[in-house]
């Protein structure tokens, strides 16, 4: 693979914040890639390089100068070789010099270029090189958004409807459930007021959170679970998951606060166990803060079949995944390429996760673009699941739509 030109430009993500789009040209072939951005980030994530005003012009400069000088004009055997060269050029442990956003933009684009030049779908090119077995991931659909993604209208960050099987069978279920949930939430908000005027109805349309899921406000902790469980009951095999994103629930006295009530770590663990016993749970992500490894371990030991997922705890980083393995802290790892800053390392994180006998759940970020790389990636590595948000935002739907396309491609290759 030979790259003739590298350029980058600023685009806006779904929160209207600047991010990077990279363009690579090789002969007649032109590919693009753009980089998502998180809000509830772990402190061990690779560094997203931003200017003092939040812009990405320094990162763009790094792509167009140093990285372009490195990658153009020579022959690359694989995109992994190119990733390794960019990591060496950066020279820091967390990509703080060139920026994980700069490096990842080129890394994803290089994967796309390699696939185009080989004339195979992106997912297939990744799987062939990584030696993974492609398979459709379970859909983790973020149907109710809370926490930092929705001004804490709900305490937990994500209330997910989980459905597995062929994507072409899972998606109609997801569409139906999302619509029904919206209707139920609207009825709930209408019945909580005595006025039935049209204006009030319009005002009370259920708001959306950052990831295209509904964001109602409930004072009762169980309410979102009751609503989701009723919909799960109509679909055998479906289940519930949450991302507590507990970093953002910490209070000043060593515990956590949910809807104005304080919990010690032990009380919060008891709450999760109670929820698991009452509702059809599949997994819990980041139940405790990223520093509370021991609390993860205790919950994992008591959670039975329910999967405990590390996100801010592990940040797609091999050293953090190894730390979690030694502690027996989790049974699944969230995989976000921009937490580590290159596709090569994200694949290594998946392979480590699988070697531990754990599940890998590949994930978008709360600030997204129309790039659907994560769908190809999740399918290529045979991930247990994919988190790509709710169905109320175009950039989220595009990931699920790409999975539908992949399913068709897989039938013909
Ligand atoms: P983020 O949230 O993209 O804002 O970090 C996603 C998550 O916590 O899983
Ligand atoms: Zn998370």
Q: Which CATH architecture does the domain made up of 5-119 adopt?
A: 2-Layer Sandwich (3.30)
Residue 364 and residue 393: Cα distance in Å, rounded? 13
Q: Binning pLDDT at 50, 70 and 90, where does residue 111 land?
A: very high
Range 77-99 average pLDDT: 98
Range 348-373 average pLDDT: 98
Instruction: Read off the pLDDT of residues 201-247 as tens digits, 9 standing for 90 and up.
Output: 544 589 999 999 999 999 999 999 999 999 999 999 999 999 999 99
Nearest ligand atom owner, CA of 366: 1
Q: Is the CB of 17 under 6 A from ligand 1?
A: no
Instruction: Read off the pLDDT of residues 257-294 as tens digits, 9 standing for 90 and up.
Output: 999 999 999 999 999 999 999 999 999 999 999 999 99
pTM: 0.96
Range 89-113 average pLDDT: 98
Mutate to test the pocket of ligand 1, among 39, 46, 287, 360 (most ligand atoms within 8 A of CB): 39
Residue 104 and residue 337: Cα distance in Å, rounded? 8
Q: Is the CB of 363 under 6 A from ligand 1?
A: yes
Residue 45 and residue 10: Cα distance in Å, rounded? 22
Residue 193 confidence (pLDDT): 59
Quick one: what percent of the chain has pLDDT higher than 70? 97
> Where in the chain are all domains bearing CATH 3.30.390.10?
5-119
Q: Tokens representing 369?
A: 């673009």
278-308 CB burial, b ≥16 within 10 A, e <16: ebebbbbbbbbbbebbebbbbbbeebeebbb
Does the 138-412 domain belong in CATH 3.40.50.620? no
CA angle, residues 198, 199, 204, in degrees to nearest 5: 100
Nearest Cα neighbor of 62 from 29, 95, 26, 14 is: 95
Task: Check if the beta carbon of residue 149 is closer than 8 Å to that of residue 211.
Answer: yes
- Ligand 1, residue 364: give the atom nearest the CA: 3
β-pairing, 239-243 vs 281-285, is parallel
Q: Is the CB of 311 under 6 A from ligand 1?
A: yes
> Where in the chain are all domains bearing CATH 3.20.20.120?
138-412
Residues with beta carbon < 5 A to ion ligand 2?
243, 311
Return the active site residues. Answer: 211, 336
């Amino acid at each position: 693979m030979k790259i003739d030109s590298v350029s980058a430009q600023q685009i806006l993500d779904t929160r209207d914040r600047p991010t990077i789009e990279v363009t690579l040209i090789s002969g007649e072939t032109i590919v693009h890639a753009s980089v998502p951005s998180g809000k509830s980030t772990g402190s061990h994530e690779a560094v997203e390089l931003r200017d003092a005003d939040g812009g990405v012009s320094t990162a763009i400069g790094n792509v167009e100068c140093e990285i372009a000088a490195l990658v153009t004009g020579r022959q690359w055997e694989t995109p992994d070789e190119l990733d390794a060269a960019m990591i060496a050029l950066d020279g820091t442990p967390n990509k703080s010099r060139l920026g994980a956003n700069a490096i990842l933009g080129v890394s994803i684009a290089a994967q796309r270029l390699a696939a185009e030049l080989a004339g195979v779908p992106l997912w297939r090119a990744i799987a062939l090189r990584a030696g993974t077995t492609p398979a459709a991931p379970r859909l983790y659909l973020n149907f109710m958004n809370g926490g930092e993604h929705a001004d804490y209208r709900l305490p937990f960050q994500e209330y997910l409807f989980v459905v597995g099987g062929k994507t072409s069978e899972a998606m109609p279920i997801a569409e139906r459930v999302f619509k029904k949930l919206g209707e139920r939430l609207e009825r709930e908000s209408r019945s909580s007021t005595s006025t039935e005027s049209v204006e009030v109805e319009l005002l009370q349309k259920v708001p959306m959170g950052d990831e295209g899921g509904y964001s109602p406000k409930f004072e009762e902790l169980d309410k979102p679970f009751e609503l989701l469980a009723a919909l799960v009951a109509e679909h055998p095999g479906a289940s519930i998951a949450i991302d507590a994103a507990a970093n953002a629930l910490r209070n000043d006295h060593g515990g956590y606060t949910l809807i104005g009530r304080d919990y010690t770590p032990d009380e919060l663990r008891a709450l999760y166990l109670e929820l698991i016993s009452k509702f059809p749970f599949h997994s819990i992500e980041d139940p405790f803060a990223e520093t509370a490894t021991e609390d993860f371990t205790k919950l994992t030991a008591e959670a039975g079949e329910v999967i405990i997922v590390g996100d801010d705890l592990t940040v797609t980083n091999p050293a953090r995944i190894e730390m979690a393995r030694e502690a027996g802290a989790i049974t699944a790892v969230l995989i976000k390429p921009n937490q580590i800053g290159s596709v090569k390392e994200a694949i290594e994180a998946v392979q480590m996760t699988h070697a531990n006998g754990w599940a890998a759940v590949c994930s978008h970020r709360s600030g997204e673009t129309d790039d659907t790389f994560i769908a190809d990636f999740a399918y290529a590595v045979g991930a247990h699941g994919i988190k790509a948000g709710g169905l109320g935002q175009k950039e989220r739907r595009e990931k699920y739509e790409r999975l539908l396309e992949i399913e068709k491609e897989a039938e013909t290759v």
